[in-house]
Structure 1
């Protein structure tokens, strides 16, 4: 497989070394599946590896893959898909602890209902299954403005709530790049949102450098895209993006919501959008935006407290204690959030995202 088809800056030596490691990973996955899977199953890639633009950090000992292996397991029946996905994830994490494997389980009957970034990335890797075969054609899924907005706010939330120090969590190497990588992705997702709002498709980060994207981005935005793509692909330098992430996202959201990029107008637009919604994901997303605007203004503080209260009442199937702690962390004198809790909220985010994308649970406040 050409793992770096859409990468721009990754050195050839790192492509060869990391690519060989990924080929070995696929060989191990296929060998395990042939021995242990006795039902028709397809295993596909989503995420940056499906887009063929993974992040790689060059070290003195060679290249190290920074991206997750996001595997989508498709089988006849949700229970079967979940069982195989869980076993496969545990097996590959044990076999290849140097790589981070994540899995999504999809009932083949729900395949055409897939939406969002998972579906868009999956469509790009559909013709090259890691195991099994494709159960028919998969329709191309272009990312909508709403999808780009969701990706933007997700990375913004990571910047706000991620522990500032680069540190592993529960031994998962995925978290070691820490806040810096989320800052870079916040910038990139904000640029993809701006391009999308202007009517241009941006299926990959690299597509921000394409002529059609360049036509709708200002000169400083084109330069920013170049620097951010390079930093993300190479894992460094990241520090310059710490102060760029939040203003980049807020400016892009202003374009998306059609309001001026001021604290008051953006806060009003965000409040208006979630006024009648009850799903925890849009409420938490709105909360992330309001926190990014900077607490201190009394009306904004009141809006934040109101959203926290509504988030507390929202239906949430997992990590309820983490959500309760999030709410209690915002006392009248402190509108901040205990940073490590973001990892639990992140887990909730993916749970709800999966439910919405995979058609298992209808979320009335979900993705529109």
Structure 2
């Protein structure tokens, strides 16, 4: 493969780290080509998504070796003709984890016939490179790219927020594509996605983290995050240092950005607009995102909204489409049976039980979200949200 400057859009990664990780990535992608050949990969092209596709990966300094390593996941995307269980592409991630143990490899699969419905930030990250795969075994038809929409940025914000709020995750280490075992990763990324939520789409594409710091975007966070803290957040992600932002009020930042995103001034108005936005939409995807926003207000919002947040959350669970529930059915039934008062209980065991039940619901959420975003089963009830947003925030739809 041709040489790529994987750090083209980073701002704070030192040159020594860039050189070390550039070389390691070069070897990684040579290994990817070799492993693809060894499993007999066919009618499948391999791409990279996430921060590597945006050319802004995160690095970390190894305590044991003193060497810089890639901290970001290597998020691989396979575009295949047929995603049958017999397709050798299913062997690739495990083989790469074995061969390249210094890298956290994930693999998501999209069928070529679903590309026109491939969406969300993961799709936007990879779209520009569909004509130039890391591994090519066939030629694909590339449909026109979709512009990013506000809902997709809200979706990523909810992903990191729920990863931080609903902890522990109830999954074994290394057993999830969605979460790191250390909650400080998601704390830092909740801060990042809160800010990126307000940047919005740029020329139809998802904004890079580094673009948060561009002068014409900084005014969007005024009164929520000062520029010096915004720079600290971005720097702490690029040179992975979650403790550097430990004193920042992650819940306050998340609430403030969510309020501004919906064009309201406080938690009371946010609760009201959330209720109006999600009213009448009871599918798992809409309901879970609504519940996570409500849970933020319930646990970390103003005292005036706690009881109403619990009532709204409980009501949303009573109205959820139970036909879409598998893993989360019993948990939702229990939450409904326990009533709003159980959600308000601040005793540690009670809070842990609510978190565990919401984690079970989350499994169904990701099942349906994955089918939607990877084009297998688009959800026509998935709201665009743009009608509820502040006109001060310029999003592309």
Alignment TM-score, normalising by the size of structure 1:
0.85
1:310 aligns with 2:319: yes
Gaps of 5+ in 1: none
Structure 2 match to 1:66:
71
1:293 aligns with 2:309: no
1:363 aligns with 2:364: no
1:344 CA drift (Å): 5.8
1:298 CA drift (Å): 2.6
Structure 2 match to 1:101:
105
1:71-128 superposed Cα distances (whole Å, 9 cap, x missing partner): 1111113437x84442212222222233222221111111122111111111244354
Structure 2 match to 1:91:
95
Distance 2:222 2:380 in 1: 37
CA RMSD of aligned residues (A): 3.3
Structure 2 match to 1:21:
24
Indicate how the Cα distance of structure 1 residues 197 and 54 shifts in structure 2: closer, same or farther if over 3 A, else same. Answer: closer
1:188 CA drift (Å): 1.5
Identify which range, 227-236 or 38-47, moves more after superposition: 38-47
Indicate how the Cα distance of structure 1 residues 324 and 70 shifts in structure 2: closer, same or farther if over 3 A, else same. Answer: farther
Structure 1 match to 2:9:
6
Structure 1 match to 2:123:
119
8 Å CA contact retained: 1:356, 1:367: no
Distance 2:215 2:329 in 1: 46
Structure 1 match to 2:387:
none
Structure 2 match to 1:181:
185
Distance 1:155 1:316 in 2: 22
1:195-240 superposed Cα distances (whole Å, 9 cap, x missing partner): 2289996520011122432454538543332111101111114363
1:248 aligns with 2:253: yes
1:163 aligns with 2:179: no
Q: Map 1:173-252 to 2 at 5 A.
A: 178-196=182-200, 203-214=207-218, 216-218=220-222, 220-238=225-243, 240-241=245-246, 243-252=248-257
8 Å CA contact retained: 1:187, 1:241: no
Gaps of 5+ in 2: 345-350, 385-397
1:35 aligns with 2:44: no
1:315 CA drift (Å): 0.6
Which of 147, 152, 156 is matched with 2:157 structurally?
152
3-state SS of paired residue (2:76)? strand
Indicate how the Cα distance of structure 1 residues 38 and 161 shifts in structure 2: closer, same or farther if over 3 A, else same. Answer: closer
Distance 2:221 2:48 in 1: 30
Aligned residues: 364
